[in-house]
Amino acid sequence: MKLREARERWVRTGGIELCVAELGDASRPTVVLVHGYPDSKEVWSEVASRLAEEWHVVLYDVRGHGRSTAPSPLRGGFTLEKLTDDFLAVADAVSPDRPVHVVGHDWGSVQAWEFATVKRTEGRIASFTSMSGPSLDHFGHWIKQRMSRPTPRRVGQLM
């Protein structure tokens, strides 16, 4: 099953339209795949096809990427809060009654760390898998720890 065979829908959120693709049986548990920057949902094509054998697989073009529309103005249109709004709109559209499993890659993983740790997504995420993307909170703590007692080695670790 290729991504071109996916069921497509549009989800409106915060004044933009997100292009959402679905593969697999919608009665099965849902996994939402969140792409990185500057990719689009198509980066997940091969993974999605394989997962669709056992999962309801959902991919969406993050705002301003792929076929999703961009916020206007761009400045301030890509905050983690707004990206979380987008995720919740997609999750509510594709799996209104059950939590979803989330897999994020690169910038999609950074976003999904936010999704998985904010209060307003409580009960909407069944699991989270991060691939190559840090939690900005953990990263901030790591920097703060190194700078609390700066040594040449600790400062060097920041570069």
pTM, rounded to two decimals = 0.86
Assigned domain for 155 exists: no
Note whether residue 142 is domain-resident. Answer: no
Q: How many domains does one find in the chain?
A: 1
In a domain? residue 125 = yes
pLDDT of residue 144: 73
Q: What is the pLDDT of residue 3?
A: 78
**Is residue 39 within 8 Å of residue 106, measured between CB atoms?**
yes
Range of the domain at 36: 3-134
User: Which H helix or E strand runs over 115?
Assistant: helix 107-117
pLDDT value at position 18? 98
In a domain, 104, yes or no: yes
| Domain containing residue 30: CATH number | 3.40.50.1820
Tens digit of pLDDT for each residue in 3-52?
778 999 999 999 999 999 999 999 999 999 999 999 999 999 999 999 99
Domain presence at residue 139: no
> pLDDT for 133-157, tens place per residue?
766 666 666 667 767 777 888 677 7
Q: What phi and psi, each to the nearest 5 degrees, are found at residue 29? A: -55, 145
